[in-house]
Amino acid sequence: MSAAVKWFWFASPQTFFPLAGTIARACWIGAALLAVAGLTVGFFVAPTDAQQGEAYRIIFIHVPAAWMSMFLYVVMAFWAAIGLAFNTRLSSMMASAVAPTGALFTFIALWTGALWGRPTWGAYWVWDARLTSELILLFLYLGFMALQAAIDDPRRADRAGAVLAIVGVVNVPVIYYSVKWWNTLHQGASVSLTRAPSMASTMLTGMLLMALAFWLYSIAASLARVRCIIRERE
Amino acid sequence: MSWGGWSEFWAMGGKGFYVWGSYAVTLACLALEVYFLRRRSREAKT
Amino acid sequence: MIAAARAIVRRDLLLALRRPGDVGTALLFFVIVASLFPLGIGAEPNLLRAVAPGVIWVAALLSSMLSLSRLFAADHADGTLEQMLLGAAPLGVVVAAKVLAHWLISGLPLVAIAPLIALQYDLPASLYGTLAVSLLLGTPVLSLIGAIGAALTLGLRGGGVLLALLVLPLYVPVLIMGAGGVDMAAAGLSPQGQLQLLAALLVVAAAFAPWAIAAALRISTE
C-alpha cells in the first residue's frame, strides 16, 4: 500500500513541479558539459575522413539528432499511452511537453542531412530511405501538435493526442520498412546516407557524447516545458 | 587531429559552408527553443 | 450484432444514394486530379506511362480523404452518433459497419473508374488487373485509417485540412505498396510481394482500427 502511494506521489503535478525544476537545472548543465566534450572529440581528436574529408563532421550533430528524434517519439507515445490508460494528467502533460523538442530534433536531422548530402553526394535531398522516413516522422510530430492545438478542452486534447500518438508509434516501423523497400525499387541515385564513413572509434565516441548531450538537453527542455504546462493548467 | 591554424579550422577543407551551416542552424534552433521556453515560463507566472 | 451492422450499412448507403452529389463529387475529384498531372508535366507518352501507377494512387488517396470528414459529421450533427455510442451494439461493430459503407461509396467506385484513367495514361492493359487488385486491397485500408483521423477531428475547426495532415503520413505505406506493386508488374516482375503486404495491412487495419476509431469517437463526443 505504501509502495503504491510512493509510486503515485510524484504523479501529482503539484508535487512533481519542484522536482522537475531541480532535475532540469542539473540536465542543462550536464548537457552543456557533454556537448563541450563531444565537440572537442569531434573537432580536435577525430581524424579527417579518407573519403569525405572534413564534411563528415556534420555527423556529430546529424546522427545524434536523428536518434533523439526517433527516441523522443517513442517517449512521447509512452507517456501519452500511460496518460490514456491510467487517466493521469501529468503523464499526458509530459507527452505534450516532449513533442516540440522531438520535432525540433527531427528538423535538425533533416537540415544537417541535407547539408551533409550536398558536398558528399551532390544534392541537398536524395530521397534516401532514412531522410524520407525522418521527413514523415516530422509530419507525425507536427500532426500531433496541430491536433492538440486545435482542441480547446485540455482533457480531450490529451486523450485525442494519445490515440494519435499510439497509432503513430505502431505505424513508424511499417512506414520505415515500406520507405526502405521503396528506396531500393527506385534506385535512382545509388547513394545512401546509411553508408556512414568507416567509423574510427574516436568518431563513435564523439557521436555518443553528443547523443548523451542531446538526451540531457531534451530532458531539461521537456521538464521546463511541462512546468509551463502545469502552471498554465492549474 | 591537428589543424594547421585557425584559418584551416574554419575552412574545413573547403566544406566550411556545410559544416558551419549545420552547426550554426542547430545552435540557433536550440537557442530559439530555450528562448521560447523562457518566454512561456514568464507568461505562465502571471 | 450482424443485424445491427447490416442495418447501419444499409442506412448509410441509402443516405448516400439520396445525395448522389456527394459521391459524384469525390469521383469527379479523382478524375480531375488525374487529368491535372499531364497538364503539369507534359504529355510525353513514356513519361505518363511511367508515372501512371503513382498518379492514379495519389489521386485515389486524395479523393478517398476528401469524403472522410463526412463520415461522422452528419450523424454527429443530428444526434445519431450519440445513439450509436449509447446503443446495445458494440461500438467496434458499429464503426466497422460505417467504414464499410464509406468504402462502398467512396473507395469501390475508384476501383471501377481507375481503368479509364489508366487508359488516359496509356498504361498497358495487362496491368489493369494488378492496378485493380492493389486499389481493391488498399482503398479499404485508406478508409479504415482515415476514419481514425475523422473521429479524432470530429467537430474541430480547420477539420478537413487537419484531418489531411494527420492521416497522410499514415497513408504512406499503403501508397508505396499499392503503386509499387503496379510498378513491379510494369517492369515485368511479380507484384505478389506488394499485394500480399497490402493484404496483410488490410487484415491488421481491419482488426485494430475499429478499436482506435471507437476510442477516438468516445473522446471526441464526451
Q: Are A76 and B33 in contact (CB under 8 A)?
A: no
Q: Rounded distance, CA A137 to CA A166, Å?
A: 14
Residue A29: how many other CB atoms lie within 10 Å: 12
Q: Which of C158, C183, C216 sits opposite A185 (nearest CB)?
A: C183
- Note the pLDDT tens digit of each residue in A43-72: 888 888 877 788 889 999 999 999 999 999
From its phi and psi, is residue C206 left (phi > 0), alpha (psi between -120 and 50) or beta? Answer: alpha
Residue C41: how many other CB atoms lie within 10 Å: 12
Q: Kindly list the partner chains of chain C, i.e. chains with 3 or more CB atom pairs below 8 Å.
A: A
Distances (CA, A) of C195 to A72, C176, C189, C198: 33, 11, 13, 5
Residue A41: how many other CB atoms lie within 10 Å: 21
- Note the pLDDT tens digit of each residue in C84-132: 888 888 899 999 999 999 999 999 999 999 999 999 999 999 999 999 9
Q: What are the DSSP calls for C148-166, one per residue?
A: HHHHHTTT-TTHHHHHHHH
Per the CB < 8 Å rule, is C165 touching A182?
no
DSSP SS3 for A186: coil
Alpha helices, DSSP H only, in chain C? 2-18, 20-41, 45-66, 70-78, 80-86, 91-102, 108-120, 128-152, 159-186, 192-221
Residue C51: how many other CB atoms lie within 10 Å: 18
Interface check A140 vs C, CB under 8 A = yes
Q: How confident is the model at residue A7 (pLDDT cuts 50, 70, 90)?
A: low
Interface check A166 vs C, CB under 8 A = yes
**Chain A residues inside the 8 Å CB shell of C168:** 139
Per the CB < 8 Å rule, is B29 touching A224?
no
Chain B: residue nearest A111 by CA?
B22
Q: Rounded distance, CA C173 to CA C62, Å?
A: 15
**Chain C residues inside the 8 Å CB shell of A179:** 172, 176
**Chain B residues inside the 8 Å CB shell of A54:** 12-15, 19
| Grid cell of C117 as nine digits | 484513367
Q: How many CA atoms lie within 13 A of A38 on its CB side?
A: 24
**Chain A residues inside the 8 Å CB shell of B22:** 58, 61-62, 111-112, 115-116
Number of Cβ pairs < 8 A linking chain A and chain B: 73
Closest-CA residue to A214 (of A44, A47, A90, A75): A75
Residue A24: how many other CB atoms lie within 10 Å: 21
Interface check C146 vs A, CB under 8 A = no
Per the CB < 8 Å rule, is A160 touching C152?
yes
Q: Which of A61, A104, A107 sits opposite B23 (nearest CB)?
A: A61
Q: Is residue A81 part of a domain?
A: yes
Closest-CA residue to C107 (of C26, C29, C35, C31): C26
* Min Cα–Cα distance to chain B from A52, Å: 10
Closest-CA residue to A74 (of A97, A105, A95): A95
Q: How confident is the model at residue A190 (pLDDT cuts 50, 70, 90)?
A: very low
Q: Rounded distance, CA C100 to CA A9, Å?
A: 46
Q: Looking up cell 509530419, which residue turns up?
A: A139
Residues 6+ apart with CB under 8 A from C203: none
Q: Which of A54, A107, A224 sits opposite B12 (nearest CB)?
A: A54
Q: Are C25 and C111 in contact (CB under 8 A)?
A: no
Radius of gyration for chain B, computed over Cα atoms and rounded to the nearest angstrom: 17
How many domains does chain A fold into? 1
Q: Rounded distance, CA C19 to CA C1, Å?
A: 28
Phi, psi of A130 (to 5 degrees): -70, -40
Q: How confident is the model at residue A157 (pLDDT cuts 50, 70, 90)?
A: very high
Q: Is residue A7 part of a domain?
A: no
Interface check C169 vs A, CB under 8 A = yes
Per the CB < 8 Å rule, is B34 touching A221?
yes
**Chain A residues inside the 8 Å CB shell of B12:** 54-55, 57
- Note the pLDDT tens digit of each residue in B1-43: 777 788 888 888 888 899 999 999 999 999 999 999 999 999 9
Would you give the DSSP letter of residue C107?
I
* Min Cα–Cα distance to chain A from C118, Å: 21
Q: Kindly list the partner chains of chain A, i.e. chains with 3 or more CB atom pairs below 8 Å.
A: B, C
Q: Rounded distance, CA C165 to CA A158, Å?
A: 18
| Grid cell of C4 as nine digits | 445491427
- Note the pLDDT tens digit of each residue in A38-47: 999 988 888 8
Residues 6+ apart with CB under 8 A from C115: C128, C131, C132
Interface check A182 vs C, CB under 8 A = yes
Residue A11 has pLDDT above 90, yes or no: no
**Chain C residues inside the 8 Å CB shell of A142:** 165
Give Cα B19 distance to the centre of its chain: 11
Per the CB < 8 Å rule, is A221 touching B44?
no
**Chain B residues inside the 8 Å CB shell of A102:** none
- pLDDT computed for residue A8 by the predictor: 66
Q: Is residue A5 part of a domain?
A: no
Chain B: residue nearest A202 by CA?
B1
Share of chain A above pLDDT 70, in %: 91
Q: Please report, as a single letter, which amino acid is at residue A45.
A: V
Q: Is residue A116 part of a domain?
A: yes
Residues spanned by the domain of A73? 15-233
* Min Cα–Cα distance to chain A from B39, Å: 10
Per the CB < 8 Å rule, is A224 touching B26?
no
- pLDDT computed for residue A189 by the predictor: 45
Q: Rounded distance, CA A69 to CA A139, Å?
A: 12
DSSP SS3 for A49: strand
- pLDDT computed for residue A192 by the predictor: 53
- pLDDT computed for residue A175 by the predictor: 93
Chain C: residue nearest A152 by CA?
C156
Phi, psi of C124 (to 5 degrees): -55, 140
Q: Rounded distance, CA A97 to CA A221, Å?
A: 8
Q: What angle do CA C86, C87, C92 make, to 5 degrees?
A: 95
* Min Cα–Cα distance to chain A from C41, Å: 19
Q: Are B18 and A115 in contact (CB under 8 A)?
A: yes
Q: Is residue A109 part of a domain?
A: yes
Whether C and A touch (3+ CB pairs < 8 Å), yes or no? yes
Q: Is residue A158 part of a domain?
A: yes
Q: Which of B30, B37, B45 sits opposite A225 (nearest CB)?
A: B37
Q: Looking up cell 541515385, which residue turns up?
A: A189
Lowest mean pLDDT: which of A100-109, A147-156, C6-15, C91-100? C6-15
- pLDDT computed for residue B14 by the predictor: 82
Q: Is residue A9 part of a domain?
A: no
Low-confidence ranges of chain C (pLDDT < 50): none
Radius of gyration for chain A, computed over Cα atoms and rounded to the nearest angstrom: 20
Q: Rounded distance, CA C166 to CA A102, Å?
A: 17
Q: How many CA atoms lie within 13 A of A206 on its CB side?
A: 23
- pLDDT computed for residue C183 by the predictor: 94
Interface check C147 vs A, CB under 8 A = no
Q: Rounded distance, CA C62 to CA C176, Å?
A: 14
- pLDDT computed for residue B24 by the predictor: 95
Q: Rounded distance, CA A95 to CA A78, Å?
A: 8
Q: Residues C157-195, buried b or exposed e (16+ Cβ, 10 A)?
A: eebeebbbbbbbbbbbbbbbbbbbbbbbbbeeeebeebb
Distances (CA, A) of C149 to C57, C77, C165, C208: 20, 18, 9, 14
Q: Is residue A70 part of a domain?
A: yes
